[in-house]
Copies of this chain bind each other. A is one copy, B any other.
Amino acid sequence: MRTDDRKLVTIVTEAALERHLADDLKRLGAHGYTVSDARGEGSRGVRAARWDASSNIRVEVICDDATAEKIAAHLRAHYYDHYAMVMYFSDVGVLRPEKF
């Protein structure tokens, strides 16, 4: 199967940021994103999703390297210090490179 390489950026963070993140991602050049609800634990303690303030979201963006870099830089600068947030990058293959 011939696929093209893209980056998958996965972000786990506070649900309160959903709207802000969506705006950021589009501004930074992502063509789309996927969100699901999550809960978890990390350096900022347990976030058990019992209610809004303790809920996480898990955001995925498939994009090219340059966009991934821009997203990484932006989130690091604006959110890492003050928000429960984890971000990681992986390599994925896609069939329609023009789409991402």
Q: Which residues of A contact B (CB under 8 A)?
A: 1, 3, 6, 8, 10, 12, 22, 26, 31-43, 56, 58, 60, 62, 65, 68-69, 72, 76, 80, 86-96, 99
Query: Contacts A34-B56, A58-B34, A58-B36; is A95 near B87 (CB within 8 Å)?
Result: yes
Starting from the known contacts A36-B38, A90-B92, 12 additional A-B residue pairs (CB-CB under 8 Å) come to A1-B69, A1-B72, A1-B89, A6-B88, A8-B88, A22-B41, A26-B41, A32-B40, A34-B40, A36-B37, A43-B99, A88-B94
Interface class of chain A by DSSP: strand
The minimal Cβ–Cβ distance linking A2 to chain B, given in whole angstroms, is: 10
